[in-house]
Amino acid sequence: MADTTAKLTEYEDKVIEFFTNVQESVVDGLRTLADKLDSRMPEVTVPYADKLPTADEVVDNGFAFAGKVLDNQKAFAGEVLDATAPVRDKFVAPTNGTSAKPAAAKKAPAKKATAKKATAKKAA
């Protein structure tokens, strides 16, 4: 199990590294563009700008909300794990190097004929 978790963590780290590299390229490109536009772009008056949140506030509020959602989902996942623990504890690793055999499925009892079907059979 530890090997599986270590491998999963390794792949997660590679994904984060990939995102970080892409993000650095995007930020560098935007910084270059902003530097070039800064001296060429006039100031623009935006109506009701004083009533709008700043870009920083929008980002902060969005991530604050996302954090609350993530915390909520983590708590939910914990509750699901707690609720299903008795059943999950039934799944065990095979012993003595043998592969686990599935438990034999119990055959459901045959269904009894309903009253309508029984009456129809008698009438026939």
The dihedral of CA 90, 96, 101, 104: what is its sign?
A: negative
Task: Give helix then strand counts, H and E, for the chain.
Answer: 3, 0
Residue 71 tokens read as 């915390």
Could you report the per-residue pLDDT of 56-115, keeping only the tens digit for each? 999 999 999 999 999 999 999 999 999 999 999 888 888 876 665 555 556 656 666 555
Q: Is the model more confident about 122 or about 51?
A: 51
- How far apart, in Å, do the first and last CA atoms of the chain sit? 63
Q: Quick check: pTM over 0.85?
A: no
Look at residue 98 and give its three-state secondary structure. coil
User: In angstroms, rounded to a whole number, what is the distance separating the alpha carbons of residues 100 and 92?
Assistant: 9
